[in-house]
Structure 1
């Protein structure tokens, strides 16, 4: 009788009147299924999904959170990730602390700003400062730099919230607002020069009566943060090593919802992410 009542409660209807389930009966699978479709959900709704999943399986939950954020091999859901991390700072702080060094690997350096005004602010600032120092040295040596400066909040941004975060971060880095602003501006100009190489190549070809061949930028180093072209660039493509993986799984026959999730999360891409 109890199982019957549980099953009845779990039944619902789609917008078209079809029968469906309220839950897959796995909170982790529910989160995996919902993460890419919660852009209009409230922070409380996202936090509830994450906390329920973490109570069921901490390691799997952390992998799903980073898969949701993963800009290259995952869903690229920035807001979901930041709300999830904010919720986990309160409920599972050790799991967040263990993975701070991976934030920029799967997302962007400004994702670390979600840890400002938390017990992990110093750890987040240390990661940012270490990369900032590397980028300044790279710029001075005319070598490739990361996109950290591009994503750092500006102290003179149009958004008041962004300005406040930028001022907070500048102070945490031990920099005056003026030094912080000038440092980011110099690095942004430098990385813009690197990003403009493709356009310079196209212009050079055109001056000599040729059309630049179609160029594929193949990212074989997952720890490289630089992106050579933006989304609107024509005549070029960006690819990385594992993009066809999900398609291969679906075509391979082993295609239950949980098996697809588990195979993605157990891949080498997410092996470093654990809760403890």
Structure 2
């Protein structure tokens, strides 16, 4: 009985620490984040993975990108089987480009196969996933991004030309804001799918070219913020008991 209580207490103590660390991860270095993750993982893999996906969850969680990617790489290097079982949840809670954290781990080939399989599905779908939006492009000023794009192209077995054509086609299907701006198709912009960085970047243009739709979107956002705040979890108990994170698999 005492042993059971002690184990329960230890699990709660370590998962509580991880929960607090991830809520404040922007101020913390990589080693502190990994240490908290590792200690929590040793006492409860399931609870740890639920907390991890909560930390990345864009809709109902913390929406933390940096700490999630640090941990994802660490898990890919040390616990690849658990990542394999939960890979489908990465774009569900986060974004497709989170998978780049698994490059240079033993899961890199798995990521390439997943990317290619999803692209092939998307080419057949009326409503494709957002993979093509987040895959790295060669036509960028960032050396790191260009290197990742070349690696992605080679890993999926495409030529650069094939890759560009596929991304261009799917991005038009996805209705990416830059594509609509290029073709001056402002009325086709779905503002709810535009990243916040792009909203800020093109704000003046939207007000000039598509004022009514843009302002309607901003008004909807104000109303939705209340509902989004109510969706979010304030305690670790709410996270661990939530059906939203019951998708996580360990065994």
**TM-score (norm. length: structure 1):** 0.68
Q: In the aligned structure 2, how far is the partner of 1:147 from the partner of 1:134?
A: 12
1:32 aligned to 2:19? Answer: yes
1:271 maps to which of 231, 237, 246: 246
Does structure 2 retain, via aligned residues, the 8 Å contact 1:66–1:106? Answer: yes
Q: Which runs of 5+ in 1 are unaligned?
A: 1-23, 203-216, 218-225, 251-259
Corresponding residue of 1:177: 160
Q: Distance in 2 between matches of 1:68 and 1:200?
A: 34
C-alpha distance in structure 2 between counterparts of 1:90 and 1:26, whole Å:
25
Return the offset for 1:32.
Answer: 0.8
Q: Which residue of 2 aligns with 1:3?
A: none
- C-alpha change, 1:174 and 1:201, in structure 2 (3 Å) is closer
Distance 2:236 2:54 in 1: 10
Mapped to 1, the partners of 2:161 and 2:250 lie a distance apart of 39
**How many Å separate the matches in 2 of 1:113 and 1:72?**
21
CA distance 1:135–1:201, shift in 2 (3 Å)? closer
Aligned length: 216
Aligned residues of 1:96 and 1:275 also touching (Cα < 8 A): no
Task: Choose which of 88, 104, 122 in structure 1 pairs with 2:75.
Answer: 88
Q: How far off is 1:159 after superposition?
A: 1.4
Alpha carbons 2:97, 2:134 under 8 Å: kept? yes
Question: As a proportion of its length, which structure holds more strand?
Answer: 1
Tell me the equivalent position of 1:71: 58
The structure carrying a bigger helix percent of its residues is: 2
Q: CA deviation at 1:229?
A: 4.4
- In the alignment, the residues of structure 1 paired with residue 195 and residue 70 of structure 2 have an alpha-carbon distance, to the nearest angstrom, of 26
CA contact (8 A) 2:176 2:194 kept: no
Q: Is the 8 A contact 2:25 2:67 kept in 1?
A: yes
Cα distance change, pair 201–104 in 1 and its aligned pair in 2 (3 A): closer
Higher-Rg structure is 1
TM-score (norm 2): 0.74
Match of 1:109 in 2: 96
Structure 2 vs 1, CA of residues 180 and 28 (structure 1 numbering), >3 Å: closer, same or farther?
same
CA distance in 1: counterparts of 2:15 and 2:163, whole angstroms = 41
RMSD: 3.0
Asked whether 1:235 is paired with 2:222, we answer no
Alpha-carbon offset, residue 67 of structure 1: 0.7
Q: Are 2:162 and 1:187 equivalent residues in the alignment?
A: no
Alpha-carbon contact 1:69-1:78 (below 8 Å) kept: yes
Distance 1:75 1:272, change over 3 A: same
CA distance in 2: counterparts of 1:116 and 1:74, whole angstroms: 25
Q: Secondary structure at the match of 1:275?
A: coil
